[in-house]
Chains A and B, each alone.
Chain A
Amino acid sequence: NAGVTQTPKFQVLKTGQSMTLQCAQDMNHEYMSWYRQDPGMGLRLIHYSVGAGITDQGEVPNGYNVSRSTTEDFPLRLLSAAPSQTSVYFCASTRTGGSGTQYFGPGTRLTVL
């Protein structure tokens, strides 16, 4: 199993550009999440999904969209990038929700100029 994969690993955007961060898992997990990691702030939840077709907002959802058309994929879209979205983004999946072990991808380091 590849586990949780994320692409790209690095990305530089200009303010106002849009892009999609890809996340895929091959463990048949129902629960998937997107986090951003910023220095001194730990991980903050952006959006999450409890199954195909079901998504919900986390702590910091503004400026991001998600969709979950399949169990395997959970892309994160930046609609109009801003410098405040410069961060490291992690995707995670878990089989059993709140009691489950989260499996994290390797992360995407995004810089917005």
Chain B
Amino acid sequence: AQSVTQLDSQVPVFEEAPVELRCNYSSSVSVYLFWYVQYPNQGLQLLLKYLSGSTLVESINGFEAEFNKSQTSFHLRKPSVHISDTAEYFCAVSDRRNGNQFYFGTGTSLTVIP
């Protein structure tokens, strides 16, 4: 089974500052990688995903993540955060060989400070 580690449980950052949320996964086998966002009292929504091709993937609201196979990482970045980015962020992985299960990290709570 896969395991996903999100190294920071809480990340406070000032508005318009850059942020990086870290994610590492356990296996060196081929994987699909995802970032989901959860706003208060809501379900999770897909932010971005890596399936194949370019290792840098972007979301429509300015987030990006880079797949690094050698470091088994998929860190999420944004160059300038907004108040509306305050939310819980989850990294997730599924195995390409047996893709019926998704494994989630414990989440990172991002708080943007005005």
**Is A106's CB under 8 angstroms from B95's CB?**
no
Instruction: Convert A89-107 into 0s and 1s, putting 1 for each residue whose CB lies closer than 8 angstroms to a CB of B.
Output: 0101000011101101111
Known: A40-B106, A42-B107. A105 touches B99 (CB 8 A): no
Instruction: Convert B36-51 into 0s and 1s, putting 1 for each residue whose CB lies closer than 8 angstroms to a CB of A.
Output: 1000001111100101
* CB proximity of B35 to chain A, nearest CB, Å: 11
> CA–CA, A59 to B90, complex, Å?
17
> CA–CA, A32 to B43, complex, Å?
15
> CA–CA, A98 to B94, complex, Å?
5
**Is A43's CB under 8 angstroms from B101's CB?**
no
B94's partner among A41, A56, A92, A99 (CB-CB below 8 A) is A99
A48 within 8 A of B: yes
Query: Number of contacts between A and B (CB, 8 Å)?
Result: 64
Known: A42-B90, A42-B106. A101 touches B46 (CB 8 A): yes
**Is A45's CB under 8 angstroms from B102's CB?**
yes
**Is B100's CB under 8 angstroms from A98's CB?**
yes
How many B residues have CB within 8 A of the partner chain?
A: 29
> CA–CA, A4 to B99, complex, Å?
21
Residue on B nearest A58 in the bound complex, by CB = B101
B98 within 8 A of A: yes
B67 within 8 A of A: no
B104's partner among A40, A43, A98 (CB-CB below 8 A) is A43
A74 within 8 A of B: no
Which residues of A sit under 8 angstroms from B104, Cβ to Cβ?
35, 42-44
> CA–CA, A98 to B93, complex, Å?
8
**What are 22 residue pairs bridging A and B, where the CB atoms are less than 8 Å apart in the complex?**
A33-B102, A35-B104, A41-B106, A42-B6, A42-B104, A42-B107, A43-B44, A43-B92, A43-B104, A44-B104, A50-B100, A90-B44, A92-B43, A98-B95, A99-B32, A99-B96, A99-B99, A101-B46, A101-B49, A102-B36, A102-B46, A104-B43
18 additional A-B residue pairs with CB within 8 Å, beyond A41-B106, A98-B102: A31-B100, A33-B102, A40-B106, A42-B105, A43-B104, A44-B104, A45-B103, A48-B100, A48-B101, A56-B100, A58-B101, A92-B43, A97-B100, A98-B100, A102-B44, A102-B102, A104-B43, A106-B42
